[in-house]
Each structure stands twice: as C-alpha cells, then as structure tokens.
Structure 1
C-alpha cells in the first residue's frame, strides 16, 4: 500500500487529472522506422526525466488488465496491485515486455507506472496511429481525479457489485478531505 496514493483498483477510472498536470509525453507512429526501439527510447527518456525511476532504478508497476474494461475487470474480481520493480541494465519494455505482460504484443503497450514517492504517474498505451507514453504530475493531489472518482461512486451507488471497489475508493476520498 502506498500512503496517499490513488487506490490501485481505481486507476483505470482516473481520467480527470487536469491537463496542466501532464508534463511530458511522446507518441511514436507505427510507420516510424525501428518503431519498437524508438518507443523504448521515448519511454526511457520520459521515465528518467520525469523522476519515475529512483536512484536504485526502482518504481511501481501495475500490470495491464488485458482487453476487458475496468468494470468487467472488477466483475472478474481481479485485484490491481502495484508491484515494486527494478529496471535492469538490459531491458525491452516496449518490445518483449509489451509482448508478454505489459501489453498485447510488441509495440502495443498498455500499463501504468508510479514513482515510489507517488509524485509521477506514467502511462503507456496503444492508439490507432501509434503508441505513446505520457507523464502526469501528482495524480493523487488532482482535484479532477477526486471529482472523477466521486462521480464513479455515484454511478455505482446502490449496486451490489463492486462493493469492495466502492469501499476502497470511499475510504481514500474521505482521507483526502481530512485536514
């Protein structure tokens, strides 16, 4: 558990951060020569310049859900947790990583990463014309994130499903309102 971090089960719903919190990003088009290599370079440049990776080359990683939606994911009772990982000297996040557990195939990522101090959230995703990464500053401190999660709770109010998700998010939101 990361103190004050957005609950991990809520991360797929958190799209309400303010545009000004996005402080870096890069899209690589599929037609780009050496596409996966360029995508790896884009990820590494952003991960190091944003402060995602600490002095021990460690950060938190949330494995992707796969092809189902966040709601379907909760129905499957799949718990999303942050895994503390260390970047080795030899790595291939966007190639072999995306082909195995960080996406759907090489060059088609779909994951979230968080700095150990909760200051930077880095997302990688696949789009129609290419794949990209972007960094969000302090997602847990975002008023937009708070609003989006409150809306999600309202939408799910009274439903038997998603009880644990609602409890976790409600507790976290209450902790944010305390002085």
Structure 2
C-alpha cells in the first residue's frame, strides 16, 4: 500500500478514533511480539460483560485509567499499537486475519488526541476490534515497559496489562517457538523480526532459567 493510500484507508480511520499516527517512528529495540504471557506476567487489567450498562463508556474510562497507571502513555501521550501492514481496509484485515496470506502485524507509533474513542469508533472501524464495544488490540509503551492487550470473548471483554514483556520467560519461549516452528500462520516478516530481536538481545530463555 502506498503512503497516500495508507493515509486514506488506515490513518484517517485511526484519527477518527483519536489516534494520530507518527509514521516510521518505532523505537529501535522494541520487542516485536508479546504473546504467550502467563498469569504471573499480568500486572493489571479489567473485564466487563457485554450486558454492562454504557459498555463503551465504561471500557474507555477503564482503558485510560489502566494506560495512565501502567505507564503506557509517555509525556506526549504517545505509545505503540499493533497494526496489519499493507491491508487496504479494516474489512480486508478482518477477512484475512487467520489466513496464511494476511499482512504482517507490526508496531506503529501513535499519539492519543484530546478527543478519542478507542472502544467505540476505534473498535468499530480503526483496526482495533470487531465492532463498537468489542475491542481486539495490542498496545505497547515506547520503552517496552508495558504491554496492553484487549480481547473479545463469548461473554465479555478482557483487557490485561503485562509488565516488562521483554523479561517474561513465557513470552521469550513463545518467540523462540515461533522462530523454530514452520507454521503457516506466522508471517515471514514478523518471524524474521522476532529472530533479529532475539539475536540482538543475546542469550536464550534457557539462560534466563539458569539465573
């Protein structure tokens, strides 16, 4: 996707949700993946059933409280959000979410604007969920000190904060597994980024276990 097309299809949608994209500004050394965390890695979070009154408003308020208390936002209210690269629309990203031909999911730097609606407009049309009140996203502090993930289940919404994902043995093991396995669901570019990051940090999860 060209720069102008990505601006029209992706960045404008994010801006309507209150996120201003800062292109090509992901800090060097950012952990490229933070899945596979364990219960012991979770440092905060919240859950709400879909029947919660004023669900979107409640989700937005709790997300902001968690973002501030966990350190997701820096002094300029900037952070990272995981976005599919090269997709032409939110619908296209959803259609190819679980196929081997999906675009790689990579970090993008954003700034939270004064007026925002992450759990409403964001979840509905800005690559941050399925529809309003049904978020699905991953966010990271610029210094990789906290990872926040939202998921939409059968009964409600769960949002968790994971502290220092780059130190989690669970996450590091999962990253090594992705590099070693030949799974059609792991995009080659994302897999390559994980391999480069692991090599750059030196050592392995086995070394961590020996500490």
> Deviation per CA, 1:88-131, whole angstroms, max 9, x where unpaired?
11111101111101111000111111111111111111111111
Aligned to 1:66, what secondary structure does the other structure show? helix
Q: Where in structure 1 do 4 or more consecutive aligned residues deviate above 4 Å?
A: 67-70
> Deviation per CA, 1:15-51, whole angstroms, max 9, x where unpaired?
1x24222110100111111111111111111111100
Match of 1:59 in 2: 79
d(CA) in 1 for partners of 2:157, 2:134: 6
**Count of aligned pairs:** 169
Tell whether the 8 Å contact from 1:53 to 1:59 is kept in structure 2 after alignment: yes
Match of 2:201 in 1: 176
Aligned pairs for 1:63-78 (under 5 A) are 63=83, 66=94, 68-69=96-97, 72=99, 75-76=100-101, 78=103
Tell whether the 8 Å contact from 1:25 to 1:135 is kept in structure 2 after alignment: yes
| 1:140 shift after superposition | 1.6
> Cα RMSD over matched residues?
2.4
- Which stretches in structure 2 are left out of the alignment for 5+ residues? 1-25, 85-92, 204-211
Aligned to 1:55, what secondary structure does the other structure show? coil
Aligned pairs for 1:110-125 (under 5 A) are 110-125=136-151
Matched, 1:45 2:65: yes
Q: Output the TM-score relative to the length of structure 2.
A: 0.71
d(CA) in 2 for partners of 1:140, 1:167: 17
2:152 to 110, 121, 126: 126
Q: Output the TM-score relative to the length of structure 1.
A: 0.83
Match of 1:5 in 2: 30
